[in-house]
């Protein structure tokens, strides 16, 4: 009996690979971001939280009809109907918020999705976790978003061939700090937008480049990804269509099989279009965004256009930290180092990907950069706005994630190979950027940015009640977990690149899954 048990242990030990721990460490790292911000910290949370709590109109204890204003308003719980008190002042901590035990919906709110401005899927799903305990519910929703991101990304990675797995994983790593981590671990529907768009195009490309059950599984994940994105935000529906187009062009073959497989992305385009045109924000495509800009009607349109033409790249760099985080995306101290580190990694790795350029990839890269420039330019111009008004970097984050993966794409079946002199500096820079960004974000809400002490507990004003870890503990755990994730993925990339040097892989089919050179073995190696 003992010998049999020892044999089983040795077998499990032989099968264990450090890459198996990457999703675990990533879960811990993103969970730190869950607790790094109070309820209401993500942009427009007064709208999104009210929309979540009122999504299904089924629970009178969470949301009730407004007998005065009718269908244009709802009675909601106190604490979710107005912008948090700390939004307008970066020196104010989250301690200014007041939470009530056993509240009842009695505050009138006209600011919510009951008029159908956004697609309904995100709000309806998050409503499952809603209760009268707003803080606990918000945390559970954030953790659910993190779990969804990791489950979907891990599933796609396991199914993709190696040459597509690198763009997926590395594309996420070079774009997730700081805005991606903050947004994924938030109550904002932008979480689903970036999760869905970031994964759907590669799942669809894998659908074209695989066969058998593996192809069908990737097709199913493509469906899930598009529904997640298009069911959360109107602009994400457009981005999903762009991603489906990229995948279809990259996967194009002059075969009957390709034409049959094209039915799936074609159907998903129809689904995304339906979700787009049935939402209230579909009018943005014609009219732009102009709300909240008092002087936009009197602004000189030529000067505004000229300003936007040269300032659009500020929205791109905002993804990497130049705009800070939160509602107003104000500049936060320390984020200059975050921006430098993350941009250095993105540009450095992207430049390596550019060495493996081919015609289709080149066309898609140019098309995506054009979209990243002209989509915000059009929306700003139509709405009479300028950069820093209405359009924020988070709106473009899904396309930036897609661009990061696209730049790292190579011709099948080869994967992009990089040496330690590329990967080790990238790990150091990304881990450092996450460490600084997480610290500054915690400081912002614990004391406000006017407090300069190194210790997060010094002069602390806000923290989660009854939470076993203090702010410093969350920061340390999140920093270590993110660093471990980056190290494991970097080592995996190095090992796979070495193993595949000069090799030619067999077509990606169900046959031989788990054997040398197959996806299962690749991820475990």
Which pTM does this prediction carry? 0.91
Per residue of the chain (525 residues), what is the pLDDT tens digit? 555 555 555 554 555 688 999 999 999 999 999 999 999 999 999 999 999 999 987 688 999 999 888 888 999 999 888 889 999 899 999 999 988 888 889 889 988 998 888 999 999 999 999 999 999 999 999 999 999 999 999 999 999 998 999 999 999 999 999 999 999 999 999 999 999 999 999 999 999 999 999 999 999 999 999 999 999 999 999 999 999 999 999 999 999 999 999 999 999 999 999 999 998 777 666 666 655 554 555 567 788 899 999 999 999 999 999 998 989 777 788 899 999 999 999 999 999 999 999 999 999 999 999 999 999 999 998 888 899 888 999 999 999 999 999 999 998 878 888 899 999 999 999 999 999 999 999 999 999 999 988 999 989 999 999 899 999 999 999 999 999 999 999 999 988 765 544 444 334 444 333 333 333 333 333
- Name the CA radius of gyration of the chain, rounded: 23
C-alpha angle with apex 48: 45 to 52, nearest 5 degrees?
Answer: 130
Backbone angle region of 177, left / alpha / beta, with phi > 0 → left and psi within -120 to 50 → alpha: beta
Q: What region, left, alpha or beta, does residue 414 occupy, with left being phi > 0 and alpha being psi -120 to 50 degrees?
A: beta
Residue 166 contacts by C-beta under 8 Å, 6 or more apart in sequence? 408, 410, 415, 416, 493, 496
**Hey, where are the domains in the chain?**
35-524
List Cα–Cα distances, 59 to 131, 132, 314, in angstroms: 9, 11, 43
């Amino acid at each position: 009996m003992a010998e049999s048990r020892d044999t089983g242990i040795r077998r499990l030990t032989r099968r264990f690979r450090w890459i198996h721990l990457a999703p675990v460490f990533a879960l811990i790292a993103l969970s730190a971001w869950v607790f790094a911000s109070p309820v209401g910290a993500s942009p427009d949370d007064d709208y999104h939280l009210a929309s979540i709590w009122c999504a299904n109109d089924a629970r009178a204890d969470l949301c009730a009809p407004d007998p005065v204003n009718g269908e244009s308003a709802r009675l909601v719980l106190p604490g979710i109907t107005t912008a948090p008190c700390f939004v307008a002042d970066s020196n104010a901590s989250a301690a200014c918020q007041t939470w009530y035990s056993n509240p009842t919906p009695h505050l009138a709110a006209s600011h919510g999705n009951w008029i159908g401005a956004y697609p309904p899927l995100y709000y309806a799903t998050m409503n499952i976790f809603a209760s009268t305990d707003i803080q606990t519910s918000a945390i559970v929703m954030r953790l659910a978003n993190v779990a969804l991101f990791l489950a979907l990304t891990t599933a796609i990675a396991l199914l993709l061939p190696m040459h597509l797995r690198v763009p997926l994983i590395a594309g996420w790593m070079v774009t997730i700090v700081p805005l991606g981590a903050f947004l994924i671990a938030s109550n904002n529907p932008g979480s689903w937008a970036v999760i869905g768009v970031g994964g759907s195009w590669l799942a669809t490309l894998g659908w074209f480049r695989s066969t058998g059950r593996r192809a069908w599984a990737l097709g199913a994940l493509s469906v899930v990804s598009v529904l997640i994105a298009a069911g959360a935000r109107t602009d994400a529906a457009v981005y999903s269509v762009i991603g489906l187009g990229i995948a279809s062009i990259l996967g194009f073959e002059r075969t009957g099989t390709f034409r049959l497989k094209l039915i799936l992305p074609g159907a998903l385009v129809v689904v995304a279009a339906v979700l787009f045109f049935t939402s209230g924000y579909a009018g943005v495509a014609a009219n732009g965004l102009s709300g909240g800009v008092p002087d936009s009607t009197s602004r000189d349109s030529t000067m505004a256009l000229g300003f936007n033409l040269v300032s659009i790249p500020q929205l791109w760099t905002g993804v990497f930290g130049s705009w800070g985080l939160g509602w107003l995306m104000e500049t936060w101290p320390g984020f200059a180092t975050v921006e430098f580190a993350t941009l250095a990694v993105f540009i450095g790795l992207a430049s390596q990907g550019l060495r493996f350029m081919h015609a289709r990839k080149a066309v898609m890269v140019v098309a995506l950069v054009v979209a990243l420039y002209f989509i915000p330019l059009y929306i700003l111009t139509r709405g009479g706005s300028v950069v820093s008004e209405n359009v924020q970097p988070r709106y473009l984050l899904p396309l930036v994630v897609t661009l990061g993966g696209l730049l790292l794409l190579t011709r099948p079946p080869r994967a992009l190979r990089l040496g330690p002199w590329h990967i080790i500096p990238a790990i150091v820079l990304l881990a450092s950027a996450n460490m600084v960004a997480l610290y500054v974000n915690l400081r912002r809400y614990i004391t406000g940015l006017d407090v300069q002490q190194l210790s997060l507990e010094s002069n602390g004003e806000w923290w989660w009640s009854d939470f076993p870890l203090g702010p410093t503990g969350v920061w340390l755990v999140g920093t270590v977990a993110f660093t471990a994730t980056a190290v494991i993925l970097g080592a995996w990339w190095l090992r796979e690149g070495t193993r595949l040097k000069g090799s030619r892989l067999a077509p990606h089919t169900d046959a031989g899954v788990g054997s040398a050179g197959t996806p299962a073995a690749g991820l475990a190696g």
